[in-house]
Amino acid sequence: MHVPDGFLDAPTSVGTGVVAAVAVGVALRGARRELDDRTAPLAGLVAAFVFATQMLNFPVASGTSGHLLGGALAAVLVGPFTALLCMATVFLVQCLLFADGGVTALGTNILLMGVITVVVGWAVFKALQAVLPKRLSVVAPAAGIAALVSVPVAALGFVLLYAIGGTADLSLGHLATAMVGVHVLIGIGEGVITALAVGSIVAVRPDLVYGARPVLEKRELVVRTSDRAAA
């Protein structure tokens, strides 16, 4: 969903640039609460993994492909603030080194594929966590559903921006239908990849998964008490 230069007019691109810059600023402050010596190395890995996975376009419909966006995945693994820093890094490198996404559209791409997927993905994940049983086995499927939802919402975000400052005159209803339709399909791929990736880390080191902490904290209390009793 990388937006090239020229799809949106200059004022809109400046606007999204400002919003993206503010969001990254907020994330820089917020990430401090999520990152410590133990989890900091994971942030680099998550960004590298998202970058690599975004190279892997999978077919979704006739003549159309899609790839992981990764905001929900990153948010569940390292926390939402750190996730946005990871995503912004990915889009910056893609834009500068690979011309993937326009230069004036960098803010737009950070906003659509970073801010929206992280915020929506994290919100849906937390909502699911609140209503589902507090078990480790629920973390990966909840992350997958959150990821699925985040993709069509990002597509709707593009339609909204296009309504504000699109450079061509076209039916927004048709644009919305087409964008959401294809991105629901891409979202299914996003959900599967996210559930698999989160599930594999939950399986070996659940303590490193930010979104699994509320579940683990309950468990660890029990373990420590019994350790102390045994000693």
Partner 1 sequence: MRRPSTKVLVAAGLLVALFLAGLVSRLADGDPDGLTKVSEDHGFADQGTTHDGLLGDYGSLTGVIGVLVVLGVAGGIALVVRRRDREDENS
Using CB under 8 A as the binding rule, the residues of this chain from 24 to 53 that contact partner 1 are 28, 31-33, 35-53
**Is 137 one of the binding residues for partner 1 (CB under 8 A)?**
no
**Is 85 one of the binding residues for partner 1 (CB under 8 A)?**
yes
C-alpha distances in Å from residue 229, one per residue of 52, 103, 183, 225: 47, 60, 53, 6
**CB-based contact 73:197 (threshold 8 Å):** yes
Between residue 151 and residue 190, which ones bind partner 1 under the rule CB under 8 A?
155, 158, 166-168, 170, 174-175, 178-179, 182-183, 186
**Is 66 one of the binding residues for partner 1 (CB under 8 A)?**
yes
Least separation in angstroms between CB 50 and partner 1? 8
Report which DSSP code applies to 129. Answer: H
**Interacting residue with partner 1 among 57, 137, 224, 225 (CB under 8 A):** 57
**Is 210 one of the binding residues for partner 1 (CB under 8 A)?**
no
Between residue 94 and residue 133, which ones bind partner 1 under the rule CB under 8 A?
94-100, 102-103
**CB-based contact 125:27 (threshold 8 Å):** no
In angstroms, the CA 225 to CA 219 distance is: 10
Which residues neighbour 69 within 8 Å (Cβ) at sequence distance 6 or greater?
Answer: 1, 54, 113, 117, 147, 150, 151, 154, 190
Half-sphere exposure of 212 (CA within 13 A, CB side): 25
Least separation in angstroms between CB 153 and partner 1? 13
Least separation in angstroms between CB 52 and partner 1? 4
